[in-house]
Chain A
Amino acid sequence: MSAEIEMASGEQRSGPALSAERLTKRFGERVAFQDVSFAIGYGEIFGFLGPNGAGKTTTVRTLGTLIAPTSGAATVAGLPLTTENGVRIRQRIAIMPEAPGLYLRLTVAENLECFAGLYALPDPHQRIERALQAVNLAGRANDLCGKLSKGLRQRVSLARALLNDAEVLFLDEPTSGLDPVAAHEVHELIVGLRERGVTIFLTTHRLEEAERLCDRVALLNTTLRAIGRPDELRRQLFPSALVVRTLTPLTEPSHVFDGLPAVKSWRQDASGAYVFTITDAAIAAPALTRALVAADADVLSLAESRHSLEDVYLELIDEDVEAGAQ
Chain B
Amino acid sequence: MSSSATRVRAIYTKEVREYRRNGSIIAGMAIIGVIFVIVPLIEFIALPASTSTALHNGDALAYMLGIPALLPAFVAAYAVVGERQQGTLEPALTTPIRKEELLLGKALAAFVPSLIVSYAVYVLVLACIKLLAQPAVASALIEGSDVLAQLVFTPLLVGWSVWVSIAVSTRSSDVRVAQQFGILGGFPPIFVTNFIAFGAIHPSLGLALILAAALLIFDAIGWWIVTAAFDRERLITGTR
Residues of A within 8 A of B (CB): 27-28, 58, 61, 64, 66-68, 87-88, 90-91, 93-95, 97, 99-106, 110, 113-120, 144, 157, 160, 164
Alpha-carbon separation in the docked complex, A135 to B129 (Å): 59
Q: Are A66 and B239 neighbours in the complex by a CB distance under 8 Å? A: no
Which of A67, A99, A101, A102 is B233 in contact with, Cβ under 8 Å? Answer: A67
Q: Which of B182-240 contact A (CB under 8 A)?
A: 232-233, 236-237, 239-240
A82 CB to nearest chain B CB (Å):
14
Contact with A along B81-124 (1 / 0, CB 8 A): 00000111111111111100000000000000000000000000
The 3 A-B pairs at the shortest CB distance, nearest first, are namely A117-B10, A120-B3, A118-B95
Residue of B nearest to A105 (CB): B21
Q: Are A117 and B237 neighbours in the complex by a CB distance under 8 Å? A: no
Which of A87, A99, A110, A164 is B14 in contact with, Cβ under 8 Å? Answer: A110
Q: Are B14 and A28 neighbours in the complex by a CB distance under 8 Å? A: no
Residues on B with beta carbons closer than 8 Å to the beta carbon of A61 = 236-237
Residues on B with beta carbons closer than 8 Å to the beta carbon of A28 = 239
B231 CB to nearest chain A CB (Å):
10
Residues on A with beta carbons closer than 8 Å to the beta carbon of B94 = 64, 66, 90, 93-95, 97
Residues on B with beta carbons closer than 8 Å to the beta carbon of A160 = 91
Q: Are B232 and A118 neighbours in the complex by a CB distance under 8 Å? A: no
Q: A27-B240, A67-B237, A103-B14 are in contact. List 15 more A-B contacts (CB 8 A).
A: A27-B237, A61-B236, A66-B93, A87-B96, A90-B95, A93-B94, A101-B88, A110-B17, A114-B13, A114-B14, A115-B95, A117-B6, A118-B7, A118-B96, A157-B91
Q: Are A119 and B96 neighbours in the complex by a CB distance under 8 Å? A: yes
Which of B18, B88, B90, B98 is A87 in contact with, Cβ under 8 Å? Answer: B98
Tell me how many residues of B have a C-beta within 8 Å of chain A: 31
Which of B10, B90, B240 is A114 in contact with, Cβ under 8 Å? Answer: B10
Q: Are B10 and A118 neighbours in the complex by a CB distance under 8 Å? A: yes
Residues on A with beta carbons closer than 8 Å to the beta carbon of B98 = 87
Which of B9, B21, B22, B232 is A117 in contact with, Cβ under 8 Å? Answer: B9
Provide 14 A-B residue pairs closer than 8 Å at the C-beta atoms, listed in order of the A residue. Answer: A27-B239, A66-B94, A67-B236, A93-B94, A94-B94, A97-B90, A101-B91, A103-B88, A104-B86, A105-B18, A110-B17, A114-B13, A119-B95, A164-B95
Contact with A along B4-34 (1 / 0, CB 8 A): 0011011101100110011000000000000
Alpha-carbon separation in the docked complex, A110 to B9 (Å): 13
Alpha-carbon separation in the docked complex, A144 to B236 (Å): 26
Alpha-carbon separation in the docked complex, A88 to B98 (Å): 11
Q: Are A66 and B96 neighbours in the complex by a CB distance under 8 Å? A: no
Alpha-carbon separation in the docked complex, A87 to B94 (Å): 9
Q: Are A120 and B96 neighbours in the complex by a CB distance under 8 Å? A: yes
Q: Knowing A66-B233, A114-B14 touch, does A102 contact B88 (C-beta < 8 A)?
A: yes
Q: Are B6 and A120 neighbours in the complex by a CB distance under 8 Å? A: yes
Of A61, A64, A100, A164, which is in contact with the most chain B CB atoms at under 10 Å from its CB? A61
Alpha-carbon separation in the docked complex, A61 to B87 (Å): 14
Residues on B with beta carbons closer than 8 Å to the beta carbon of A95 = 91, 94
B5 CB to nearest chain A CB (Å):
9
Alpha-carbon separation in the docked complex, A309 to B177 (Å): 47
Residues on B with beta carbons closer than 8 Å to the beta carbon of A101 = 86-91
Of B6, B94, B233, which is in contact with the most chain A CB atoms at under 10 Å from its CB? B94
A275 CB to nearest chain B CB (Å):
48
Residues on A with beta carbons closer than 8 Å to the beta carbon of B11 = 114, 117-118
B85 CB to nearest chain A CB (Å):
11
Alpha-carbon separation in the docked complex, A274 to B237 (Å): 52
Q: Knowing A94-B94, A97-B90, A106-B21 touch, does A117 contact B239 (C-beta < 8 A)?
A: no
Q: Are B96 and A90 neighbours in the complex by a CB distance under 8 Å? A: yes
Residues on B with beta carbons closer than 8 Å to the beta carbon of A144 = 21
Residues on B with beta carbons closer than 8 Å to the beta carbon of A87 = 96, 98
Q: Knowing A103-B14, A114-B10, A117-B7 touch, does A67 contact B21 (C-beta < 8 A)?
A: no
A92 CB to nearest chain B CB (Å):
9
Residues on A with beta carbons closer than 8 Å to the beta carbon of B97 = 118
A201 CB to nearest chain B CB (Å):
13
Alpha-carbon separation in the docked complex, A114 to B92 (Å): 9
Q: Are B90 and A66 neighbours in the complex by a CB distance under 8 Å? A: yes
